[in-house]
Amino acid sequence: MKKKSYYDSVHFTGRIWTLTAAFLLVMVPVSICVYYNAWPAATDVLKGLLGVAPIFWTVAVIEVVTYVPMLGAAGSYLGFVTGNLSNLKVPCALGAMEAAKVEPGSEKGEVISTIAIAVSSIVTTVIIAVGVLLLSQFEPILQSPVLKPAFDNILPALFGGLAVVYVSKNWKIALTPLLFMVILFVLQPGLASSVGLLVPVGALITIAVARVLYKKGRI
Amino acid sequence: MHFNPNSSFMYTIVAIVIVYVIAQSMFFLIKAWRRAKELGMEVSTLKKTMLSSALFTVAPAVSILIGVISLSKFLGFPLPWLRLSVIGSLTYEFTAATTAASAIGASITQTITDPKVFAAIAWVMTLGILPSLLLVSIFGKKIENGIIKLKSKDNAWGEIFLTSLFLGMISAFLGVIFATIHQGLKGWIPVFVMIASALIMAVCGIIVKKFHIKWVEDFALPISMLGAMALSIPITNLTQSLL
């Protein structure tokens, strides 16, 4: 009974916090328009939106379907509001659950994922705030050519380590989707900009392979 | 009224949203912490989770800061600051802002001074990201109930199903690392960095197993990420010297 009430209260408060955040976000352009008395032509906004919405609304659906099961309820409400999911929050939560030896999808997993995402959000906000305020001191360091390779390669540096943890434990399931993705991107490098759309493709292939192996009793 | 994307008005509205999101993070942090204690989890585990998550966040956060700087050249600081520290991600915000600007015919090489253009871009960025917040509020509970049901029916398969989701995501992001190899040796640099990160992670695993040093396990992910980022500098220099 206790378990149910925690989930229910997370969903209840999560929805309130998330919808209020959505309202506040809409109020940002509204207040710009009101304060400067500058309402853009609706056609301009629509033209811009037409270039963005088809891809990003699709990615939104995909992200909700794939990340909510991984992050758990509270982690998701927080993660979707604080953003930077695939390049920061999801790997951070996965790493934290792995280190704490809790199962994703369990209640302990949910709690650890929530703590990881909350801390990560707060740290990100603080670092960016400090960085913007002290920009004159930081800018030469951040944009120095010496450090440029490090920031250019942040995703390979992040996913290489994460892959070892997950692939080594589940190599039978991982082999097919990995090979598929490597071959796909080698043959079609132009797809790199829409990697978000390929996450569910990878997930579906993996689930299919896992189902077959599971039915055969191989995993 | 004269418009300036770096005005104190802009900083004020942005600060309100950022404070709200920090409050939300604190709220769920405390809620999860209390629940963890009810579930009998060790405080030391929770503290380690916090520390290692904070450490893990530093490098990506700095790269997000670089994104704020690059977008600030045409949007000023407050709006990119808001969008990158709370809601979006660099790939999203950059695409949204530049697409909107080009649809309206605004230049992205100089700071925007027309409030109507600025407002149009802000609207596009906002409306483009809004569905994810609405979707998670509407469907989050249904999806989680589905997972709970799946696990209660067949727990072993439920766990494999979740692992498959992770592996699907990881394989897409590992695959994309190979997207540059057609550029020749230079395009292999991300692959070398990924291998370096994987090797550091493997060494961490060996250290944990052989020498039973527990803290290495807790910090293996930040160690391998920061280590590989540091190694990417000599890797890049070495690769370029071979070209």
Calculate how close chain A gets to B39, using CA atoms only, in Å. Answer: 7
Condensed to tens digits (0 to 9), the pLDDT of residues B119-160 reads 999 999 999 889 999 999 999 999 988 988 888 899 889 889
Q: Which residue has the tokens 């250290």?
A: B207
Residue A39 has what DSSP assignment? P
Is the pLDDT assigned to residue B90 strictly greater than 80? no
**Is residue B181 less than 8 Å (CB to CB) from chain A?**
yes
The dihedral sign for the CA sequence A160, A166, A169, A171: negative
**Domain co-membership, B205 together with B227:** yes
**Domain co-membership, B143 together with B48:** yes
**Is residue B172 less than 8 Å (CB to CB) from chain A?**
yes
CB contacts, 8 Å: A124 with chain B:
57, 60-61, 64, 85
Distance of alpha carbon B76 from alpha carbon B11, whole angstroms:
10
**Domain co-membership, B194 together with B239:** yes
Residue A71: per-residue pLDDT: 92
pTM reported for the whole predicted model: 0.86
**Of A79-83, A118-122, B107-111, which range is least confident?**
B107-111
Nearest CB neighbour to B233, from listed A120, A146, A182: A146
> Which residues are CB-neighbours of A116 under 8 A, at least 6 positions away?
A75, A92, A93, A95, A96, A97, B49, B50, B53
**Domain co-membership, B26 together with B136:** yes
**Domain co-membership, B171 together with B137:** no
Alpha helices in chain B (DSSP H): 8-38, 43-75, 78-82, 90-104, 115-153, 155-177, 189-211, 214-218, 220-242
Distance of alpha carbon B123 from alpha carbon B117, whole angstroms:
10
Distance separating the N- and C-terminal Cα atoms of chain A: 33
* Residue contact A105–B165, C-beta within 8 A: no
* Residue contact B115–A32, C-beta within 8 A: yes
* Residue where one domain finishes, among candidates B134, B153, B172: B153
DSSP A61-79: HHHHHHHHHHHHHHHHHHH
> Which residues are CB-neighbours of B149 under 8 A, at least 6 positions away?
none
Nearest CB neighbour to A164, from listed B39, B180, B202: B202
Total count of domains within chain B? 2
* Residue where one domain finishes, among candidates B122, B153, B184: B153
CB contacts, 8 Å: B40 with chain A:
none
> Which residues are CB-neighbours of B146 under 8 A, at least 6 positions away?
none
Distance of alpha carbon A95 from alpha carbon A116, whole angstroms:
9
Residue B98: per-residue pLDDT: 82
Tokens (6 digits) for B165:
């989701």
* Residue contact B196–A108, C-beta within 8 A: no
Distance of alpha carbon A136 from alpha carbon A147, whole angstroms:
17
* Residue contact B29–A167, C-beta within 8 A: no
* Residue contact B66–A143, C-beta within 8 A: yes
**Domain co-membership, B168 together with B127:** no
DSSP B90-142: HHHHHHHHHHHHHHHT--SSS----HHHHHHHHHHHHHHHHHHHHHHHHHHHH
Report CA Rg, chain B. Answer: 22
Is the pLDDT assigned to residue B92 strictly greater than 80? no
Condensed to tens digits (0 to 9), the pLDDT of residues A169-186 reads 899 999 999 999 999 999
**Domain co-membership, B120 together with B231:** no
**Domain co-membership, B144 together with B240:** no
Residue A157 has what DSSP assignment? H
Is the pLDDT assigned to residue A3 strictly greater than 60? no
Q: Which residue has the tokens 């689930």?
A: A207
Is the pLDDT assigned to residue A1 strictly greater than 60? no
Establish, for the pair of chains A and B, how many residue pairs have beta carbons separated by less than 8 Å. Answer: 557
Higher-pLDDT residue of B94 and A68 is A68
CB contacts, 8 Å: A120 with chain B:
53-54, 56-57
**Is residue B137 less than 8 Å (CB to CB) from chain A?**
yes
Nearest CB neighbour to B176, from listed A114, A154, A192: A192
Distance of alpha carbon B144 from alpha carbon A72, whole angstroms:
7
- Name residues 17-56 of chain B within 8 A of A (Cβ): 17-18, 20-22, 24-29, 31-33, 35-36, 38-39, 41, 45-46, 48-50, 52-54, 56
- Name residues 85-104 of chain B within 8 A of A (Cβ): 85-92, 95-96, 99-104
**Domain co-membership, B165 together with B108:** no
* Residue contact A77–B181, C-beta within 8 A: no
The dihedral sign for the CA sequence B15, B16, B21, B25: positive
Q: Which residue has the tokens 């001191």?
A: A137
* Residue where one domain finishes, among candidates B129, B153, B177: B153
**Domain co-membership, B132 together with B165:** no
Q: Is the distance from CB of A82 to CB of A89 less than 8 angstroms?
A: yes
Is the pLDDT assigned to residue A2 strictly greater than 70? no
Q: Which band of pLDDT confidence, cut at 50, 70 and 90, is reported for residue B1?
A: low
Condensed to tens digits (0 to 9), the pLDDT of residues B24-64 reads 999 999 999 999 999 999 999 999 999 999 999 998 898 88
Amino acid identity of residue B25, one-letter, is S
**Domain co-membership, B129 together with B61:** yes
Domain of residue B241, residue span: 155-243
Given the cut 0.90, state whether the ipTM is greater than it: no
* Residue of A101, A120, A158, A98 whose CA lies nearest to B224: A158
Condensed to tens digits (0 to 9), the pLDDT of residues A190-200 reads 998 878 788 88
* Residue contact A18–B133, C-beta within 8 A: yes
**Domain co-membership, B81 together with B184:** no
Residue A178, CB half-sphere, CA atoms under 13 Å: how many?
A: 17
* Residue of A167, A158, A97 whose CA lies nearest to B173: A158
Percent of chain B exceeding pLDDT 90 equals: 59
* Residue of A179, A171, A161, A151 whose CA lies nearest to B196: A161
* Residue of B170, B146, B166, B131 whose CA lies nearest to A66: B166
Region A81-110 average pLDDT? 90
Region B226-239 average pLDDT? 95
